[in-house]
Structures are given as C-alpha cells and as structure tokens.
C-alpha cells in the first residue's frame, strides 16, 4: 500500500506500470479482474483509504435497485444466499471478495492529480508518485463530485443543507419537516427513510418524471429493460404514457408531471435514470411524502417554490446528483481532441455541467474509460461488459 505524501513534482521518480487503472470501485476492479484473468498485470490507484470507497459512503438504507444477477462483475458472482437486491454492506463485502479473488491490491490513498500524454505513453501523477504507462483506464465513476446547485438566499437559511452523499439515515431528522430536492433514486429512498424515522418529508420536483416499479409481475425491472431496449425509440415513446398509467396510475393528482418520453429515451438523451419505485409512490399516495414544485429560493426558515408557494423547513437534503470530475485531472489538450468527451451539456435548469466522458472501450491511443455509460439496463451490468472488452483490447494491443 502506498500512502499519500506530497513530494515536489520535480523530485518524483518515474514508475512504470504495464497498465494503469484509476479507481478501485466496481469499474476499476472489474477491469483489473478481467486483465488478471488474461494474465495481464496492472497497477490500480485509488484515492480512498479502502476499495469501494463510493459504496461505503452511501446511506444506510441503500439496496441495489438492479437485481444481483445483473449486477455482479465478470468472473465472480454474488455468493449464494445473497438476496435479489443486495444491501449496501453486502455490495461492499462482495467487492472486497472480488478484489481478493483476483488478488487486486490497489495503491490506496493515491489520488490522481494529472493525466497527460507524453512520447506515446501516459503520465499519471499523484501527490506521492509519477507513473508512466502505455495504457490508462479511467474508472473514477460518474459520482466523483457531489453537485449542489446554488439557490438565491441559500446562505440565509438557518436549517442544515446537506447533499445526499452526506446523508446516513433519518435518525437526526426525527420530528422535523425536511425538504428533499430531486426525484431520482436517492431522493426517493431518502424520503422513505425520513418517513420511517418519524420525519415529515417533502420532495421538490422541478420537471416531468418517469416512475417505474422495481419489478413487473415479479420480474426485475433490469430484466424488463433488457427486453425494452430492443423496442424502437418512437414506439417506446408512443407507448410510454399508457404503460405509465397502467403501472403507476395518474400521478398528476399528486402534483407530479408525467414525462412524455419513455424512461429509455430519458436515459439515452438526458442520462437520467427514472425513479425505480421501492415504495415512494405509495407514501406519496398516502400523504406521508408531500410533493412540491421545483425549488426557487430560500429565506431564513422557509423555501419558496417555482409556483410562488412557500413553506418552512428544518433541513434540506439535496439529492441533485454528481459530476464525474474527470476534467480535474485529465489534460485539457486531450479533452479538446474530440472523441474522448462529449460536448459540455446544459442541465434542465441551465446549470453548466462539467464535461462527461463517453465510455470508451476501443481506444486508439491507450486511454480507456470504463463506467461512464448511463444505460437503461443498469450501470453495473454495463461495467462488466465494458471491462471485458477493455481487457481484451488491451491484451490484443500489447501482444
Ligand atoms: C446511491 C446510488 C445507488 C446506485 N445503485 C445502483 C444499482 O442498484 N445498480 C447499478 O447498476 N448502479 C447503481 N448505481 C450506479 C453506481 O454508481 C455504479 O453502479 C457503480 O458504483 C459505479 O462504479 P464505478 O467504479 O464506475 O464508480 P465508483 O463506485 O464511484 O468508484 C470510483 C472510484 O474511483 C475513485 N476515484 C475517483 N477519483 C479518483 C482519482 N482522481 N484518483 C484515484 N481514485 C479516484 C473513487 O474513490 C472510487 O473508489 C448507484 C449509484 C448511486 C450513487
């Protein structure tokens, strides 16, 4: 294990790595596992003190939304007896076992600060070391940096405002009126958790939404999505409102606006996963979770919404997502080359979003990205597919 200590850049000595993988979450471990299975060595760098750092930080109640059989990494499944939707701790345990199984020993506490090309190789610098490698796989995840939009008056609000990443459980919010901003999967589950802990949750929802049940007729939605991903987009969009009415009923009566495009299109075009419902809608129906329009501004105790209505809150939890943060370390000259990142996109409310790398599995210059494709069929499943292809490509390239 290497620990981080700042060494002046000119005193760093070059270390050679046959392949360098940045990140020891599911994507980095999957790539390393696939390389090991092919007899190809690699060095894995992880900024956290342990592997699976993102998963260890998730809130207590979290269970996978995708079924275990679609969420394991290549070459090693979840142990028998694992429930269909593993808990956060079971996921962390599984990732630890995966690393042991493939003898992956990442350099922990090493945050990559820069990644740039030089003489046909890649140079990767952390505070403690400089690595040279012909291949680098960026597996730092789409959730590297919590994203909190700025609302007018936010600094005057006297209650606490925290990002969903900092949320552990609803214990500290017992008896409080809590505003959850957002309507993604974290928002939906955190609202349930708050209710279960005796808080009074409300959700601020700013745009049209898609809600899908976690299972349809006992079949996990990840399996249903696999089938639906083959349906032409226009047909899926045409059918979407009718399917939504059948599965969730009329959500307009709760103050929600049904999206006019299918969940598939929403994922493909906006990279937004629909709410996979594990009980949020029922609590909304029963009046235990209030729905409010998008958040406009804050006062000392109250929030004002887009329709001009106001209410007082004790705390606000922003489940407003993350940014990948690759631009923090990737040489901008590489960035502007074109194929590595998509053009900067603008969020629905005009928030400037950082550049979002495309997953890239057939690299011509030795730079790969794994885990950046937001897909209807589950990111973990996609990570497995990408990792296999990346490892095959790297071994073919180095042969
Ligand atoms: C709350 C939540 C629930 C989810 N549930 C599901 C689900 O049920 N099913 C599903 O398929 N997907 C789910 N996802 C999506 C999920 O993010 C991915 O499935 C998976 O964790 C992504 O793995 P990853 O390795 O790409 O990213 P991460 O798990 O975020 O791992 C990235 C790793 O890179 C490290 N890192 C980052 N920057 C640097 C750096 N500069 N230098 C060194 N190391 C660095 C991080 O510390 C981290 O360990 C969920 C996401 C969230 C936020």
> What is the structure's pLDDT at 82?
97
> What is the structure's pLDDT at 339?
35
Q: Please indicate whether residue 369, judged by its CB atom, sits closer than 6 Å to ligand 1.
A: no
Among 3, 17, 20, 23, name the best residue to mutate to test ligand 1's pocket (greatest count of ligand atoms within 8 A of Cβ). Answer: 23
Digit-coded pLDDT (tens) for 367-383: 999 998 887 788 999 99
Digit-coded pLDDT (tens) for 338-349: 333 333 333 333
Strand partners, 21: 44, 137
Residue 320 CB contacts under 8 Å (≥ 6 apart), including other chains: 147, 148, 149, 163, 164, 181, 182
What SS3 class is residue 265? Answer: helix
Q: Which two tokens stand for residue 329?
A: 């370390």
Residues of the chain short of pLDDT 50, as ranges, are: 1-4, 336-356
Among 21, 26, 90, 381, name the best residue to mutate to test ligand 1's pocket (greatest count of ligand atoms within 8 A of Cβ). Answer: 26
What SS3 class is residue 209? Answer: strand
Q: C-alpha angle 252/257/262, rounded to 5°?
A: 120
Among 144, 331, 383, name the best residue to mutate to test ligand 1's pocket (greatest count of ligand atoms within 8 A of Cβ). Answer: 144
Distance CA(21)–CA(99), nearest Å, equals: 14
> What is the structure's pLDDT at 360?
62
> What is the structure's pLDDT at 375?
79
> What is the structure's pLDDT at 356?
45
> What is the structure's pLDDT at 223?
77
> What is the structure's pLDDT at 348?
33
Q: Please indicate whether residue 145, judged by its CB atom, sits closer than 6 Å to ligand 1.
A: no
Q: Which two tokens stand for residue 186?
A: 């974290």
Token pair 């906006």: residue: 270
Q: Please indicate whether residue 46, judged by its CB atom, sits closer than 6 Å to ligand 1.
A: yes
> What is the structure's pLDDT at 7?
58
Nearest to 25 by CA among 123, 91, 82, 81: 91
Residue 394 CB contacts under 8 Å (≥ 6 apart), including other chains: 19, 35, 40, 135, 137, 368
> What is the structure's pLDDT at 233?
75
């Amino acid at each position: 294990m290497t620990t981080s200590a700042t060494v002046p850049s000119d005193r760093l000595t070059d270390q050679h790595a046959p392949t360098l993988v940045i990140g020891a979450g599911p994507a980095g471990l999957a790539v390393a596992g696939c390389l090991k299975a092919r007899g190809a060595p690699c060095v894995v760098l992880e900024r956290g003190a342990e592997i699976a750092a993102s998963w260890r930080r998730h809130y207590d109640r979290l269970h996978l939304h995708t079924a275990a059989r679609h969420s394991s990494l290549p070459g090693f499944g979840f142990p028998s007896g694992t429930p269909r939707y593993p808990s956060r701790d079971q996921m962390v345990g599984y990732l630890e076992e995966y690393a042991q199984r493939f003898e992956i020993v990442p350099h922990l506490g090493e945050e990559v600060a820069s990644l740039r090309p030089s003489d046909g190789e890649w140079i990767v610098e952390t505070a403690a070391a400089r690595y040279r490698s012909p291949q680098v796989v960026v597996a730092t995840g789409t959730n590297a940096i919590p994203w909190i939009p700025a609302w007018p008056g936010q600094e005057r609000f006297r209650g606490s405002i925290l990002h969903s990443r900092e949320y552990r459980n609803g214990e500290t919010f017992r008896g409080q009126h809590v505003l959850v901003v957002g309507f993604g999967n974290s928002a939906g589950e955190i609202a349930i958790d708050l209710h279960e802990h005796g808080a009074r949750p409300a959700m601020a929802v700013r745009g049209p939404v898609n809600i899908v049940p976690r299972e349809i007729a006992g079949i996990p939605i990840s399996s249903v999505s696999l089938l639906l991903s083959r349906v032409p987009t226009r047909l899926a969009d045409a059918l979407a409102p009718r399917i939504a009415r059948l599965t969730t009923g009329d959500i307009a009566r709760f103050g929600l606006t049904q999206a006019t495009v299918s969940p598939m299109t929403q994922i493909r075009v906006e990279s937004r996963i629909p709410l996979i419902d594990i009980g949020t809608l029922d609590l909304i129906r029963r009046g235990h979770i209030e729905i409010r329009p998008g958040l406009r501004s804050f006062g000392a105790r109250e929030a004002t919404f887009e329709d001009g209505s106001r209410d007082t809150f004790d705390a606000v939890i922003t489940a407003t997502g993350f940014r990948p943060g690759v631009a923090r370390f990737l040489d901008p000259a590489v960035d502007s080359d074109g194929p590595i990142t998509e053009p900067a996109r603008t969020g629905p409310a005009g928030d400037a979003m950082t550049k979002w790398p495309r997953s890239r599995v057939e690299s011509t210059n030795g730079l790969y990205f794994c885990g950046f494709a937001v897909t209807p069929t589950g990111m973990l499943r996609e990570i497995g597919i990408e990792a296999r292809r990346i490892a095959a490509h790297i071994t073919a390239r180095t042969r």
